[in-house]
Chain A
Amino acid sequence: MSGYEFFGDGARASFGGDEFVFVEVGVGMDLAQALRIQAITGELARRELPGVIDVAPANASYLVRADPDVLHPRELVRTLARLHARFGEAGSVALDTEIVEIPVWYADPATERTCLKFRDRHQSPEETDIAYTARVNGLASVADLVAAHSSAPFIVTFPCFKPGNTECVQLVPRERQIQVPKYLRPRTETPARAVAHGGAFTVVYPTAGVGGYQLLGRSPVPVADLAQRTPGFEKSKVLATISTLLRFRPVPGEEYAQLRTDSREGRYRYRRAPVRFALAEFLADPAGYPRTLEAALS
């Protein structure tokens, strides 16, 4: 009794108890696959089927929570199988989304202090997280890592962990993806707004707390405001959601301090613009196409 049902495309569906349906589309991270998942779950969410409580897309899978007294999980799986057939190809996916700039003070003192405090949980205790990340990616220096990390925007493929936290993957060819293992054991502290990388994903920690990603720097501006008092959060409690493009812009310490003050005093305005992301165009020109998307910010 393995409990799996396979869709025509090979996706593996199963029941998470009486309330959840889990669909694993693939076991590896793949951008085209992630966008196809966003198309399927986007359509499911738009239908607002009675009984559906949550539609939560992830990197290579998704989760749907439903009230089984209203919508039987088996009926839900049948609907999902039909959606998989309808969105068979990711190549034609085009997402109307937004690009948002997040300033980052890379190798800032706060995240450096934190990472030095937890060397006993790290695979390479002799160096900082950012130096380690540069080294394991074959980059000559921290400056090269910063250049690579800020050279092309990222796309959010999994909002999870805490409200406002978004796992995003960089829009570069796979051989240029920054990859790094997570901590051996998670830290018990992470500064709020820390920018970090683990696996092939970057995150911005919305609030202070535990964390296992390698610390690269810190943003002066928040990615979540659940009370919605900060300018930029009028429409949403979180800055980014599934499909949002994030561009990380390196800023020096002085500018970080200024932007932090501006943000705290309600004067900071996020640089953001609507964009349409077309997968086919990215795949045809992975180096050039993201630059045209960034142009929307200027």
Chain B
Amino acid sequence: MITVLAPGARTLVQDLGRDGQYAIGLPPSGALDQYSHRCANLLVGNHETAATLEITMTGPELHFAEPATVAVTGGEADVRIDGMPVPCWQTVFVDAGRVLRIGALRTGCHAYLAVRGGIATEPFLGSRSTYQSSAIGGHDGRALAAGDTLPVGDEPDEIRPGQGSSVDPRLRPALGGHQPLRFVEGLCRHRFTDESVHEFFSSTFAVSPESDRTGRRLIGPALRFVDREAPFGAGDNPSNVVDLGYPVGSVQVPNGEEAICLLRDAVTGGGYATIGTVVSSDLDVLAQLKAPDTVRFVPVSLDQAVTARRERRDRLKHVRRGLRLLSLY
């Protein structure tokens, strides 16, 4: 059992997400940086579907009643066990009775703490992911608070990577700076003028300061819409459409002013024109960005989007293979 001594800024139980509930208006939730979440699980020998703790900006202080194997991935933070510093992106053993403290993140927005066996809170609709808006999943559907206790699941039957096993730095994700986001045009792209779409792809967007799980606001040029007579039920603003479904990763531009890229806790639909969608693997990158980081959108075809997905899976395969090799020595 793990006891929360201090919760950090916003610490949530997350796994790969709760798929298949769009039709009732429930977004998938799940770890915003799925790659780092999966790596954390691999470092402790968990199945990639196990739940981890998603940490935002500042981490928690946790007391371990039993010995544990843990790993912190994602953004780099000052991590200590009873005051002794331990590295990120490595397998770490924690003795019974010790306190693990994760400080402020030096890079990125989110860190992931995996514990061998997984965080074993009660699943809801097949997932342990917390969705705060509907107060479901995770620990009572909310962020962790001081005094909460978290159950740890049974020992998985996978090999336990040894203390100090790590993910090759070349296989770790980008955590800031200026990042290209691969982008598939479509959805309501026809509502935007060609000049605006051109500007969208040739401009640099600044990531706004807040780090919300519903979306990232990206500050760039104002975009213009094609003139029209508002269709029945759409609304008068040129950025309005008859309410429609929003893919995770879709970018909308309310009133033409600010681009918002939706993340895994976004509402499933609404009435703003969407211009296209960031490919799933690059949402991991976006989730780690914060002011003053910047992005640009790079148009790609469906085939390139599917290839990007495959490349991420191959990278994870390399991580897994690397850890397996280490465990042989």
B is a partner of A: yes
**Contact present for A59 and B243 (CB under 8 Å):** yes
Q: Are A164 and B270 in contact (CB under 8 A)?
A: no
- CB atoms of B270 and A15 under 8 A apart: no
In the complex, what residue of chain A is closest to B23 when comparing beta carbons?
A56
Contact partners of A159 in chain B: CB under 8 A: 23-25
Chain A contact patch, size range: 35 or more
Annotate B253-290 by CB proximity to A: 1 below 8 A, 0 otherwise: 00000000000000111110000111110000000000
Q: Determine whether B21 belongs to the interface, using a CB cutoff of 8 Å to chain A.
A: yes
Q: Say whether B305 contacts A56, CB under 8 Å.
A: no
Closest to B308 in A: A18
Give the 6 A-B residue pairs with the shortest CB-CB distance, closest first: A14-B186, A29-B233, A28-B231, A160-B269, A16-B247, A63-B245
Query: How far, in angstroms, from A53 to B126 measured CA to CA in the complex?
Result: 14
Q: How far is the CA of A200 from the CA of B234 in the complex (A)?
A: 9
Is there contact, CB below 8 Å, between A58 and B243?
A: yes
Q: What mask results when residues 1 to 28 of chain A are scored 1 for a CB within 8 Å of chain B, else 0?
A: 1111000000010111111101010111
**B64 contacts the other chain (CB 8 A):** no
Interface residues of B (CB under 8 A from A): 19-26, 124, 133-136, 184-190, 231-236, 241-250, 267-271, 276-280, 299, 301-302, 305-306, 308-310
Which of A15, A17, A59, A61 has its CB near the most chain B CB atoms (within 10 A)? A17
User: Chain B contacts of A60 at CB under 8 A?
Assistant: 233, 242, 244
Neighbouring A residues of B25 by C-beta, 8 Å: 159-165
Assess whether B189 is in contact with A14, with CB atoms less than 8 Å apart: yes
Is A158 part of the binding interface, using a Cβ–Cβ cutoff of 8 Å?
yes
* Contact A58–B305 (Cβ < 8 Å): no
Binding site for B on A (CB under 8 A): 1-4, 12, 14-20, 22, 24, 26-30, 45, 53-63, 65, 68-69, 72-74, 158-165, 167, 169, 174, 179, 181-182, 199-201, 207, 209, 226, 237-238, 241-242
Q: What's the nearest-Cβ distance from chain A to residue B28, in Å?
A: 9
* Known contacts A1-B185, A27-B241, A162-B133: A16-B233 contact under CB 8 Å: no
Q: Interface SS of chain A: helix, strand, loop or mixed?
A: loop
Q: Is the CB of A18 within 8 A of B302?
A: yes
A-B residue pairs in contact (CB < 8 Å), sample of 12: A2-B189, A3-B302, A18-B305, A27-B242, A45-B23, A56-B22, A58-B269, A65-B22, A73-B306, A158-B269, A161-B269, A241-B23
A201 — which chain B residues lie within 8 A by C-beta?
Answer: 233, 243
Q: Which residues of A contact B270 (CB under 8 A)?
A: 160-161
A211–B123 Cα gap in the complex (Å)?
29
- Give A179 to B230 CA distance when docked, in angstroms: 13
Q: From the candidates B231, B236, B267, B306, name the one contacting A18 in the complex (CB within 8 A).
A: B306
| Most-contacted residue by chain B among A61, A62, A200, A242 (CB, 10 A) | A61
Q: When the two chains form the complex, which single residue of B135, B247, B279, B309 contacts A65, counting CB atoms closer than 8 Å?
A: B247
Whole-angstrom CA separation of A253 from B44 in the bound complex: 58
Report the separation of the CA atoms of residues A62 and B189 in the bound assembly, to the nearest whole angstrom: 16
Which of A18, A55, A158, A200 is within 8 Å of B280, CB to CB? A18
Residue from A29, A53, A241 in contact with B231 in the complex, judged by beta carbons closer than 8 Å:
A29
On whether the beta carbons of A18 and B279 are closer than 8 Å, the reply is yes
Bound CA–CA A54/B267 (angstroms)? 15
Beyond A22-B187, A29-B242, A162-B134, 5 extra complex contacts between A and B, CB < 8 Å? A15-B305, A17-B247, A18-B306, A28-B233, A174-B232
Q: Given A3-B185, A162-B134, does the pair A59, B233 have CB atoms closer than 8 Å?
A: yes
Give the distance in Å from the alpha carbon of A226 to the alpha carbon of B244 in the complex: 23
Residue from the list B22, B302, B309 in contact with A63, Cβ < 8 A: B22
Known contacts A28-B231, A54-B23; A2/B277 CB under 8 A: no
A200:B268 contact, CB within 8 angstroms: no
Q: Is the CB of B235 within 8 A of A199?
A: yes
B19 with A53: CB separation less than 8 A = yes
Pairwise interchain contact B234-A199, C-beta atoms closer than 8 A: yes
Is B24 a contact partner of A241 (Cβ separation < 8 A)? yes
CB neighbours (8 Å) of B233 from chain A are 28-29, 59-60, 169, 179, 199-201
Q: Is the CB of B24 within 8 A of A3?
A: no
Report how far A27 CA is from B135 CA in the complex, Å: 34
With A18-B302, A237-B24: A58-B245 Cβ-Cβ less than 8 Å: yes
